[in-house]
Structure 1
């Protein structure tokens, strides 16, 4: 293979990188792991006889999916011992139009690797079951069953909030101001009665060791948190959409980033997802 041939192959891979990254990230919930998968897929792409590959996009999607399935076997074991709630690494989007939101990604965690692959490839990325079957090396009938089981598990995790892009960002901004200023009255008007807070510190930064459930418990938590925030400070970096949900990135007193995302239902915040684990925030720098 000439250097020009290698260069063309690399250019072709880079053109497909965004969609391959979407597959890998949604399979794994980790930006770093997804990047590792793409690096391995690139190495295999450069070694394969590309003259025998009729559809590079399909070949690379299959390669990435199979590598992710292998990775999930070890990742699932690691998450069983994860300290406190586990949340996927936050990805900041410019728009709210996101095919896999944070609640849906959490629901995917409860699926088997094959169910997860079948659901994502067919329901999210729109592949025919015949292509899904080739990718995960099962027959089409089995893939339909895998996707159907997955669909049952994740049905309630589809996007629930019905607010405009601007309203979602306004709510995120208002939450930041009220929570940092200790304005509990304003904060209370934003929260649903069944509000929940999920915080991922990864055992490396302070975070609630289990979800905080219910209006009273969440308000009490933020009352105590506001005192600390007013004393130590917290700076809004930007608002935006984090894994499809309105939210913000903040710089906290310890010099580390934090992301806060909101699942909104009927105009009120139904769930708050906070990522504080520094290992999951490095890509935001």
Structure 2
């Protein structure tokens, strides 16, 4: 399975970090800077949109954040569950196990940071079209110790046993934004016409660690990160006649970061890399 690398990774996620910082003093020397972070982490969120090929009528189902962990300014939180699954329009969209989401924020004289981590055990998307044995997606952000107007964020993602349509992804280290083609068949009880069973085919992409930065160098901004994003369209056809299409946008395991500053503009340094381990 070959990966295509995107130079402009994007997509929303689920860890919010807000920072308020102090600028330079009148003499031009950096003052001791304070920051406040609020963190959020969840297992999956997204949308599923079904469109009738004849009428054009669209129906969108929103997947709300699953097993959400949040903290604000200081403290820690942990949310875990043995499993979670959801069926939409007759399709098992996700089946997750070993769920654990945690957040931790500090606001002291020596430490101002925000951290979150989303981990999963054996899990799959779209009836196993994409599957893995385990995954861990952390995010850590803090004010740079030397450059007082900079927030440093980093994440090392680890995925074990990643497979697409039953074929294992080659082991190795992949950059943030690495893209894999995803194609396969989905069993859909609604893909019928006058009793004839049709075939529903999916075509899309799986992106590792999609991320984006908004408002870099301004007083308000956002860093977004997800462990994985599966997006694409499933088409139901019976005897060559298209009946409907279903668009999936599934964001798995991730953090994103908001910040604001009343007195100075902030730059973001984001260091990401993703590993697949078998």
Q: TM-score, normalised by structure 1?
A: 0.25
